[in-house]
Structure formats: C-alpha cells, structure tokens
Amino acid sequence: MEFLDKYVLPQSAHHMILLKYLMALALLIFIPYISLLIGSLTFSLIFKNKSAKNNNAAHYKFSKFLIDLTTFNKVSALGLGLAPLLSISFGVAQLLHLSDVPAAGYILLSSIFYIAAIIFIYTFKYSFHLRDILGAVTENENIKEEIKEESSFYLSSANKLLRKSGFFGLALLLVSVYLFVGALNLTTRPELWDSGNYFINLIFSLQTVVGFLQIILFAFGFTAAFIIYRSYSSEAIKSDEKYFDFIKNFGLKTGLIISIILPLFIILSILVKSSQALSYNLFAYTLLALFVVMFISVLFYLMIRDAQLRYASSLVYLFVLAVFFVVMQEYSSLDTATKKQFAFLAANYDEYKSALEEEYGLKKVVINGADIYNGKCIACHQFDKKLVGPPYNETLPKYEGKREELVKFILNPVKINPDYPAMPNQGLKPAEAEAVVDYLLSTYKK
C-alpha cells in the first residue's frame, strides 16, 4: 500500500494548501455522483424484485427508469467517479508522505472495487434493455420460429445477468464507499498513525460506520429529490397520471423520512471524530449543513401537504449545498488533524530544496571572510603585531583603493618584503579571496 510514496515529491507549504483545496473539489464532484449511483441502483433493485413478485408494470418501468438515471454515459462514471477517487488518493499520499499510514493505498483499493462495480452496474443496465428487446422478439407472432428460439435462449441469459449483475454491482459499490470513508477517517485520526493496526481501525471504526451510513442516507435522500425533479420536468412521465403519482408519492415520502433522520447522523459524525480534528470551522460548517437539511425536510413536507412539486429543482440545489458544507466539514477536520504533519512536510521540503540546489550548483553559498581569516590567516598575521608575517596595519595602506590587486596577491602570493618569508598559497577560491579581502579592508579602516 506504500508504493505510492515512490511517485510523491516533497512539496512546498503553498502547494500543499492548494492540494487540500483540490481534494475538497474532488469530494464535491465525487459525493453527489456516488450518492445518486448508490440510491438509483438500490431503488432499482428493490422495485425490480417487487415487479417480479407482484407483476406490477409500474414497478418494472420505474426500476428501469432508476437505473437509467445515472448510467446515461460511461464517461460520467470515469470523470465523476474514478477521476476524483484517484485524485484524492494521490492527494492523501502527498499529505501523508514520509508516514507509514496507508490511507492512500486504501483509497486506491477503493477505486479498484469501484471499477468492478461500474462494470456490473452497466451490465445490469444493458441486460435490462436487452431483456425487453428479446422479450418483444419472442412474443412477436410475425417472427420466424428459429429466430424466436434463439431469442428465447439469449433472453434466458439476459434474465440471469439481470438477477446477478445488479446485486454484485451494489455490493462492490458499497465496499468501495466503505473503504473510501474509512481511509479518509484514518487520515483525520493522527492518534492512530503509530498504531500499526490500520486495516482493523479502518474497518471497525465507529467513525467509519457513522460516515458510511451518513453517505447512504444522503444517497437515498438526494436520489429521491432527483427523481422528483426528473419526473416533474418530463412531459412523458407526467402524461401518465397514475405512473406520475406513484413516482411522486415514493419520492416525497422517502425524501421526507431521510431528511428527518439525516441530521442525527450529521451530529453523530461530529461526536465520533477525533479530538485532534475538531475546530471552530468544523462546528460552523456542521451547523450550516444541519440548517440546510432541515430546510430540505420542510420543503418535502410542504410538497406533500400541497400535493405539488413546485420546489423540485430547489431540493436538488439544496442537497448539493448540503454536500458542500459536509465536504467543508471534512476539509476542516483534515486541515486541523494534519497540522503537525503539514509542518513536518514543509520543513522536509526546505531541506529537499536546499539539497537539490546544492547538488546542481544552484545554491548560493554565503562566504564569511571573518571565518576564513580566523581559520587560515590569524596564525601568521595580526593587525597590530608582527608574527610570521607583517602586521596588516603596515601592509594594508598600500592596497587602499586597490582591492583587486590584493585579491590577486592572495590567490597567487609572491615574495615582496625581504624581512619576511614568502606567503604560501592558501588554496582559496576567488570568491573566498574576495570575502577575506573585504573583511581585512573593512576591519583595518575601523
């Protein structure tokens, strides 16, 4: 799970702040989409099973309508689901770099389950449509018998796929979401980072269970609101009054029940959070999320009371707003819980940058002339005393205004005064010679 570290480079504090915002944006894309996917698939399976038991045409039609809600385009499954998952995975890997916490690996594992789930979900969708097409062929009296027999064979296969693919798709999708929620919660619990029992803490954490149930409830509520909106805006659905009333009643009652229960889980999600993830911003976003959800429940109630869907579009926008506040809630807890890790990574970046500049010769090294004098010159020279060489107070007046000549002499010394031995070459670099000359001349003038 730690192989992602190979692809992570140290980042500056500014880049990591931007990274957190990008993770929040990815969550804003991922959570509404995955909620609709879970809700529509769950309701589709429920009504498909109901239609098989009671042979209700409205249930069958509604089941088909539900699965078509979010599987309208394969690209959406990649762009709205897989891409945000991968982005969050690499973001967490960057944020937890140099730690042993495998949260990014669990999110990557979650994305693998997600891909498998999408394959089964689209198989469920296509087998649904294929079943209808093949059923129409087998029942058509104008079709040849051999074609009917062949269609009947494929119809049987389509029925088997329909029974199994939807169930497997939902199971894999729920596993994916559970792992994802658990990995995010692990990221916001620094007290567990040294425990080593990461998978156990992820699976059996109360925080993970509450977060997972919160997403499921949100999925059912958001899907109910989206069903109302789509049916209200569809003339084809409204033209069948009985079918339209059935959808309306289901969406409104489901939405009202969920919007009443959801605030309890929003509050629970705060109560089970790590104390190291709590902040004033977290509580502020929680209050805003609670207010929006309670307002949603009021709109559901008003539409039931008035038997009208005039707030259908407002419900969808309000659910998206609720997602925003819940995501900012998660962002706040992530930001607070990783402050020490953030500071550690920022310091590590400074060391990494310094080493890189030094390796490629880009680092400007500050040369201290006083250190060179004390290390090399002071053994033979002083300013006011004669030692091995002459005192500087006697020799430096000759070099006033002739700095470059003194630099050249130090780099390539020659015998000048017969009373003193020749000065040996000290092996200084030009910049070092300049630094020691500046120090000598400035000190001599003082």
> Which residue, among 24, 26, 15, has the nearest Cα to 83 in the 3D structure?
26
Residue range 48-73, pLDDT digits in tens: 999 988 889 899 999 999 999 888 88
Q: Of 35 and 133, which is predicted with more confidence? A: 35
Nearest to 23 by CA among 101, 100, 102, 103: 103
- At 356 the pLDDT is 59
pLDDT band at 1 (very low <50, low <70, confident <90, very high): very low
Q: Where residue 238 falls among pLDDT bands split at 50, 70, 90?
A: confident
Predicted local confidence at residue 116, as pLDDT: 97
Mean pLDDT of the residues in the chain: 87
Look at phi and psi of residue 401 and say left if phi exceeds 0, alpha if psi is from -120 to 50, else beta. Answer: left
Give the whole-angstrom CA distance, residue 156 versus residue 185. Answer: 44
Looking at per-residue confidence, does 76 or 13 come out higher? 76
Residue 169 has pLDDT above 60, yes or no: yes
pTM over 0.85: no
Which structural domains are found in the chain, ordered by start?
2-353 (no CATH), 369-445 (1.10.760.10)
Q: Which pLDDT value is given to residue 35?
A: 95
Mean pLDDT of 7-26: 82
What count of other Cβ atoms lies within 10 Å of the Cβ of residue 173? 23
pLDDT at 83: 95
Per-residue model confidence (pLDDT) at position 8: 66
Tell me the range of 113-122, 348-357, 358-367 where mean pLDDT is highest. 113-122
pLDDT band, residue 325 (cuts 50/70/90): very high
Burial-class residue 202 by CB neighbours within 10 Å (0-12, 13-18, 19+): buried
